[in-house]
Amino acid sequence: MGQQKQEKLSYEIRHFLGSVIIITLIVGIVSGGTAGIVFSTYGLKYLVKTPLVGKTIEEQIVKKIEVEELQEQSATIAAVKKVSPAVVSIIISKDLSKYYNHTGPNIFPFDDFFEFGFPEFYSPQQKKGKQEIGVGTGFIVDGEKGLIITNKHVVADEDAEYSVITNDGQRYDNVEVLARDAINDLAIIKIKAKGLPQVELGDSDSLEIGQTVIAIGFALGEYKNTVTKGVISGRGRTIVAGDFRSSESLENVIQTDAAINPGNSGGPLLNLKGQVIGVNTAISREGQLIGFAIPANEAKFVYESIRDTGRIVRAFLGVRYIILNKAIAQANNLKVDYGALIVRGSTLEDLAVVPGSPADKAGLQENDIILEVNGKKINKNYSLRRAIGRLKPGEEVELKIFHKGKEKVVKVKLEERR
């Protein structure tokens, strides 16, 4: 018996005996009768006295653990069988010769979140014409229209060509990139096919820490539809993902210890019902088994926007900001330690409030603090971008503002991000 199973068995036995002690003592006290006292005294003595009885209890608990493990194993197998047919591999091809000269390579124009598939040096004498230089993963969300969700960084290069290989080995070239999300690592691509299997998108807002999850992806660009399993390790993380060429801040991402390997970019993270609850997007380069996925509800928003309008339609407020915390508030002698502080960017062009934007029209100014959006506090767990991202252009929102030492409420009509 493995150490993990032994620990679980020990816990189950302690839990069982503890429950028996409590129940029998309550029975004895409440009844006040001889039967209750006899049961609480001799029953407990009998339970803990002989190794034979203890072994019987252990056998029952072992059986219970085995049943639970079989149930989870069956659910895992069923989930993988359900989703795998809709998981695809994405091949990235490009003519590399124009990026290299006789003195050496130029900077290679790719952002590899998974540190795989993008070579650092090519000899122009050896590499002529189009080469397969990267891989990723995606999953079909509309089998009749051939719509696939993947990561933006997988299909970031507008000069590259993309091919999709479905689980049954069918290859589709001339893939069309319908949209790249401006504020998240998501993209929608399309292949010319109908009647394809498709996934079911689950509710990522209902996830629990410790919940079992499954990742599927094109591991190492070699092992198609590799399956790994783990748990939800954290929610609402904010990370900066990328490499030395470029990076992107991602908010409200899911952390998991399910092994996410190079090539898994854009693959699905599943629950045991076989629903997609995340889009695998990044791994930690310093830790082990620390992976991140964009919540499925974010992907659902992007997909539905493409389906209904042909483009990603997002609401726009028009401010630059940082999320306040106690340290920032104390360092700047601020009276509040939460909210979004409106600030300038690092260059003269990065204004705090975009001229002509909804925020500008509503009178928001640099150094104002947006405390709440529609009555909900803005903080590290609920950023301004997340709050506005759930709304639609044309909606009117109520903002609570801390302006020059006083709180006030302003109403802002959101516009479409261009």
Catalytic residues: 153, 185, 265
| DSSP string computed for 162-185 | EEEE-TTS-EE-S-EEEEE-SSSS
**CA torsion, ordered 33, 39, 41, 47, to nearest 10 deg:** -170
Q: Token pair of 73, please? A: 């194993």
Alpha-helical runs (H) found in 261-309: 296-309
CA distance 268 to 81: 13
| Burial bucket for residue 276 (CB in 10 Å: 0-12, 13-18, 19+) | buried
> CA–CA distance from 229 to each of 289, 291, 363 (Å)?
11, 12, 50
CA distance 245 to 175: 25
Nearest by Cα to 381 from 233, 208, 253, 284: 253
